[in-house]
C-alpha cells in the first residue's frame, strides 16, 4: 500500500503544470480516435468482446438520452378559451361532462395497462413468406442468404433494442416500426392516438 498520495500533496503545495488542463483536454480528444482505430484493427474474440461492450454502452446512452428528452420536453398549452368554460371554483361534480369522465377512465386504464382497445380488423388473407420478407444477401461475395428484411408494418414493444446488425436475422426498418395507433371510439365519435399494447398473431382467430 502507498504511504501517501505524493502527487496530490505536490499539487496542493505547488499547483498544476501550466499546460496540465490543455494536455488533458487533448488526450481526451485523442482517445476517441484511438478507440476507433482499435475497434477497426482488433481481431477475433478481442474484437467481438470490444464491439459487444461498445454496443451495450451506446444502447444505454440512447435510452438515457430518450429519458432526458422526455422529461425536458415542454408541452404547449392551448391558450384559446373553449366554449362553455367556467372557472375552477364554479365547477361542480354534477356538471362534469360525460366525455370528460370517459376520457379520465381511458387515461386511468392506460396507466394500469388494462384498457385494451381493439382495432376492428377486416378478414385478412394469409400473407406468403416471400411477400412478407425480402432476402438480404450478405458476405463479401454476397453468397449468404440467411438474413430477411420485413416489408410490412411491424409492432415493437417499448423496450425494443436492435441486435447487433451483423447478427440480426430479421431486419425491421425503423420506418415500418409502429408503437401507436389511431382508434375511433364509437360513442364519443372521436379518435384517440393510443399506444399499442399487443398485436394478435392471427387476427381472424378467436384466441
User: pLDDT, tens digit, for every residue of 10-53?
Assistant: 999 999 999 999 999 999 999 999 999 999 999 999 999 999 99
All residues at 6 or more sequence positions from 106 whose CB lies less than 8 Å from its CB, including other chains: 115, 192
Report the pLDDT value the prediction gives residue 73, as an integer from 0 to 100. Answer: 67
| Predicted confidence (pLDDT) per residue in 74-88, tens digit | 665 556 666 666 666
What is the number of other CB atoms lying within 10 angstroms of the CB of residue 147? 19
Report the pLDDT value the prediction gives residue 168, as an integer from 0 to 100. Answer: 92
Q: Domain segments of the chain: what residues?
A: 6-72, 97-114+152-207
**Of residues 136, 134, 158, the one with CA closest to residue 147:** 136
Render 1-57 in DSSP notation, one character per residue: --S--HHHHHHHHH---TTHHHHHHHHHHHHHHHHHHHHHH--HHHHHHHHHHHHHH
| Predicted confidence (pLDDT) per residue in 88-128, tens digit | 666 655 555 677 778 888 877 776 654 455 556 666 677 88
What is the number of other CB atoms lying within 10 angstroms of the CB of residue 55? 15
Nearest-angstrom CA–CA distance, 181 and 200: 14
In whole numbers, what is the pLDDT of the chain averaged over residues? 83
CA of residue 95 relative to chain centroid, distance = 41
Q: Which three cell numbers stand for residue 5?
A: 498520495
| Predicted confidence (pLDDT) per residue in 139-188, tens digit | 999 999 999 999 998 888 888 889 998 999 999 999 999 888 888 888 88
3 state SS of 149: strand
Calculate helix-pair angle for 20-41, 44-72, nearest 10 degrees.
120
Q: Is the pTM of this model over 0.75?
A: no
Vertex 147, ends 144 and 151: CA angle to 5°?
Answer: 135
Nearest-angstrom CA–CA distance, 203 and 127: 12
**Of residues 194, 191, 189, 188, the one with CA closest to residue 114:** 194
- Percent of the chain whose predicted confidence (pLDDT) is above 70: 76
Q: How confident is the model at residue 198 (pLDDT cuts 50, 70, 90)?
A: confident
Q: Give the residue with greater pLDDT, 3 vs 58.
A: 58
Amino acid at each position: 500500500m502507498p504511504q501517501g498520495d505524493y502527487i496530490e500533496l505536490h499539487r496542493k503545495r505547488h499547483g498544476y503544470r501550466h499546460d496540465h488542463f490543455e494536455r488533458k483536454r487533448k488526450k481526451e480528444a485523442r482517445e476517441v480516435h484511438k478507440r476507433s482505430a482499435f475497434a477497426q484493427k482488433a481481431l477475433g474474440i478481442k474484437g467481438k468482446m470490444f464491439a459487444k461492450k461498445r454496443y451495450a454502452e451506446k444502447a444505454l446512452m440512447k435510452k438515457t438520452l430518450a429519458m432526458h428528452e422526455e422529461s425536458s420536453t415542454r408541452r404547449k398549452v392551448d391558450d384559446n378559451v373553449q366554449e362553455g368554460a367556467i372557472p375552477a371554483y364554479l365547477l361542480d361534480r354534477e356538471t362534469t361532462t360525460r366525455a370528460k369522465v370517459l376520457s379520465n377512465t381511458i387515461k386511468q386504464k392506460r396507466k394500469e395497462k388494462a384498457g385494451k382497445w381493439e382495432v376492428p380488423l377486416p378478414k385478412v388473407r394469409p400473407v406468403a413468406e416471400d411477400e412478407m420478407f425480402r432476402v438480404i444477401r450478405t458476405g463479401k461475395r454476397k453468397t449468404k442468404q440467411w438474413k430477411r428484411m420485413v416489408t410490412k408494418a411491424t409492432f415493437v414493444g417499448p423496450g425494443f433494442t436492435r441486435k447487433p446488425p451483423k447478427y440480426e436475422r430479421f431486419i425491421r426498418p425503423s420506418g415500418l416500426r409502429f408503437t401507436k395507433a389511431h382508434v375511433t371510439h364509437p360513442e364519443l365519435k372521436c379518435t384517440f392516438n393510443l399506444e399499442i399494447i399487443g398485436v394478435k398473431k392471427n387476427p381472424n382467430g378467436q384466441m
